[in-house]
A and B are shown apart, each in its own frame.
Chain A
Amino acid sequence: QLQLQESGPGLVKPSETLSLTCTVSGGSISSSSYYWGWIRQPPGKGLEWIGSIYYSGSTYYNPSLKSRVTISVDTSKNQFSLKLSSVTAADTAVYYCALGSGWNTPLDYWGQGTLVTVSS
């Protein structure tokens, strides 16, 4: 069964770049069946889709975050990554990686999430 696990620093300073990695196990990130995405949830608030990527490298971003987001894939490591630049306290959230059958489809499987706090 596919499993996803987020990893990365839990604390990032304002104006710096947030970097997270999602490691996929139980299946290949190069599968033509899946798109891989990032979603975040500020403490006590709702969910926000950040963007998605296909194993070929095609990316799809939330227009409201597009100028600050880069999602990439490393098929050799069965991982995909998120970079969010110029962070502020508003970017403090639990960050989830997830997968769907398309970039604009429901998200079938989710990682457990990782809390990233933006603070000096």
Chain B
Amino acid sequence: DIQMTQSPSTLSASVGDRVTITCRASQSISSWLAWYQQKPGKAPKLLIYKASSLESGVPSRFSGSGSGTEFTLTISSLQPDDFATYYCQQYNSYLTFGGGTKVEIK
């Protein structure tokens, strides 16, 4: 099965910072990767699919890139509403999620 590894596990940042989260797959998944945002006590929310396609209604400060085994989620200018945990998910073979990256206030 395909393992997904996210880094860092925790990230401290300030409002206005550019933030980058990395997700690595244990084997090539082409561009079959999604990113989710989860806030405490809430269900995950889909942000990006097919590695770089922005889900409808998601602010343009979120962007995704990558293919094969290495992917990134970038928040161009961190906003107060963006402090949350982010998960990557591959859907090349079944569905598996990364361990999550918590973005906290610096």
Partner-B contacts on A (CB < 8 A) = 46-49, 60, 62-64, 96, 98, 104-108, 110-113
Contact = CB atoms under 8 A, between A and B. Distances in A.
Interface of B: 1, 34, 42-46, 49, 55, 87, 89, 91-100
Given A63-B1, A106-B89, A49 B96 contact: yes
B91 A46 contact: no
Contact of B91 (A105, A110, A112): A105
B47 to A, nearest CB: 10
Contacts of B42: 112
Contacts of A63: 1, 94
B43 A110 contact: yes
A107 B49 CA distance: 10
Contacts of A48: 97
Contacts of A113: 43
Chain B interface, >50% SS class: loop
Contact of A46 (B34, B49, B93, B99): B99
Majority-rule SS of A interface residues: loop
Contacts of A110: 43-45
A111 B43 contact: yes
For the complex of A and B, list the 7 residue pairs with the smallest distance between their C-beta atoms, beginning with the closest: A110-B43, A106-B34, A49-B95, A47-B97, A106-B49, A104-B91, A46-B99
21 contacts: A46-B87, A46-B99, A47-B87, A48-B97, A49-B95, A49-B97, A60-B94, A62-B94, A62-B95, A63-B1, A96-B43, A104-B91, A104-B92, A104-B94, A106-B34, A106-B46, A106-B91, A107-B34, A107-B89, A110-B45, A112-B43
Contacts of A47: 44, 87, 89, 97, 100
A20 B89 CA distance: 24
Nearest to A110: B43
B17 to A, nearest CB: 24
B46 A108 contact: yes
A112 B44 CA distance: 9
